[in-house]
Amino acid sequence: MKQKKDPNWKNKLHETIYEADTHHGKWFDIILILAILASIILVMLESVESFDKKYHNFLNISEWIITILFTIEYIARIISIKKPSKYIFSFYGIIDLMATIPKYLSLFFVGTHALVALRALRLLRVFRILKLARYLGASTKLMQALKASRIKIAVFLFSVIVLTIILGTIMYLVEGPENGFTSIPQSMYWAIVTLTTVGYGDISPHTPLGQFIASVVMILGYGIIAVPTGIVTSEITKSELEHHHNNTQHCSHCNEDKHSDKAKYCHNCGNKLNNE
């Protein structure tokens, strides 16, 4: 798998940074993830005003350390790869760049709100941690279940949106701006808040008719919430059952492995199966 043609320091760096199956690579990954987590916690703490006032210097210095580390990593990634453009314009390449730039910009533009927003871009590096999920292996199955039911989910979402438009309009006409339903989009926001059973209560019906319609909507939402659950559960159960059924029977002739439990002959080539 690894390319051993050019065994200089560049290749070693490449191995460390881009591959997770060597000793160095694993440690690099762990340290990188810790650094990302630290940078995320820094952005969070900075947003807490009382904390920022108290420990401004500590936060500032820590940010500079993280930023410089990320810059070194970014440069190392460019140097160690053969076609730097492939990394630079990749999804992670752009995120990695955006994670370092804002702090440098803060030297020129001081204290503007826009910069806080830019600094938050560093949070996008959290996606790198998502790679961790691969180690657990279970995410693939989960993703498959979601993927397999994507059409059903699309139909479901589409119906919810149409329902939301109709409900939003009805409630706007019934309740009106004087009860908080100031516009149709606002009413649609209320319909989603209600259908999903979130129920903030920032907008709620006040007229008897409005409350009656809302009651019907809620009981509807009750039934509707059952649909995505049913879809996903059915997919997971199916994938579980399939996985469950064919754990032992591999055909010795064609290597087909998806036989049902009671199969005596391979359903692919007709060869007799040897069950233990």
18/127 with CB nearer a second copy? 127
The least distance separating a second copy from the CB of residue 90, rounded to whole angstroms, comes to: 20
79/155 with CB nearer a second copy? 155
125, two tokens? 């590096």
13/43 with CB nearer a second copy? 43
Q: Which of 226, 248, 252, 274 binds a second copy (CB under 8 A)?
A: 226
Q: Which of residues 103-122 bind a second copy (CB under 8 A)?
A: 116-117, 120
Residue 188 makes contact with a second copy by CB under 8 A: yes
Closest CA to 25 of 10, 8, 13: 13
Contact indicator for 10, 79 with CB cutoff of 8 Å: yes
The least distance separating a second copy from the CB of residue 215, rounded to whole angstroms, comes to: 5
CA atoms within 13 A on the CB side of 211: 4
The span of 5-13, 26-34, 57-65, 133-141 binding a second copy (CB under 8 A) equals 133-141
The least distance separating a second copy from the CB of residue 24, rounded to whole angstroms, comes to: 25
Residue 253 makes contact with a second copy by CB under 8 A: no
Three-state SS for 265?
Answer: strand
Task: Using CA atoms of 266, 271, 272, 276 in order, give the dihedral in degrees to the nearest 10.
Answer: -60
The span of 5-13, 74-82, 102-110, 232-240 binding a second copy (CB under 8 A) equals 232-240
Three-state SS for 269?
Answer: coil
Contact indicator for 12, 25 with CB cutoff of 8 Å: no
CA distances from residue 264 to 35, 104, 237, 249, 259 in whole angstroms, order as listed: 55, 69, 25, 9, 9
Q: Which of residues 25-84 bind a second copy (CB under 8 A)?
A: 40, 43-44, 47-49
Determine the Cα–Cα distance for residues 169 and 217; give it in Å rounded to an integer: 13
Q: Which of 138, 144, 147, 209 binds a second copy (CB under 8 A)?
A: 138
Residue 184 makes contact with a second copy by CB under 8 A: yes
Question: How many residues bind a second copy, per CB under 8 A?
Answer: 103
For the chain, how many residues are written? 276
